[in-house]
Amino acid sequence: MTVRLLLIADTHLPKRAKALPEQVWQEVARADVVFHAGDWVEPPLLDELESRSARLVGVFGNNDGAELRRRLPEVARVELAGVRFAMVHETGAAQGRERRCDRDFPDTDVLVFGHSHIPWDSTTPNGVRLLNPGSPTDRRRQPHCTYQTAELTDGVLADVELHRLPPRT
């Protein structure tokens, strides 16, 4: 059995965009599990993702207010198809990230994070896969707005893909 994943973060709605791009909503409809790694900014996107996702895993970010912090954890942990996921908004500076994540998330196979708006895909010395999908709505200094998809098949994370969104008009 294959589990299809969608990874997004740093949507900053409605500050940086009015809505998620339609391409991302199409991925939500296809995904078995949607991960949102924080910085929602306002609760309506959480409400809409909860209603439109087969399953939603979310955390709050540093730009999220009291209601989002009440409804979401700082760290989320979930096991899917035998793969242990953790998600947090911030992991600190890129330098030393792998060592910190090995130390802070020892019982994790995949760590999803956000905050930087910079896509990231690496593996720590202890074998933890680190994934940051960037942002589908606020590219900051990146060339594109982005998100990631992946699949879990037979307990293995596979087909991790970074998707670039076309420029907003």
CATH, residue 13: 3.60.21.10
Proportion of the chain above pLDDT 70, given as a percent: 99
Which pTM was predicted?
0.97
| Residue 47 CA: distances (Å) to CA of 8, 34, 136 | 15, 13, 18
pLDDT at 97: 96
Q: State which residues form the domain around 34.
A: 2-164
Q: Using only C-alpha atoms, what is the Rg of the chain? A: 15
Q: What DSSP string runs through 105-144?
A: -TT-SEEEE-SS---EEEE-TT--EEEE---SS--TTSSS
Does residue 169 lie in a domain region? no
**67-106 confidence digits (pLDDT tens):** 999 999 999 999 999 999 999 999 999 999 999 999 999 9
Is residue 60 a part of any domain in this protein? yes
The count of structural domains within the chain is: 1
The type of residue at 2 is T
Give the CA count within 13 Å in the CB-facing half-sphere of 40. Answer: 27
**In-domain check, residue 155:** yes
Q: Is residue 99 part of a domain?
A: yes
The string of pLDDT tens digits covering residues 136-166 is 999 988 999 999 999 999 899 999 999 999 9
**Residue 124 belongs to some domain of the structure:** yes
Residue 169 has pLDDT above 70, yes or no: no
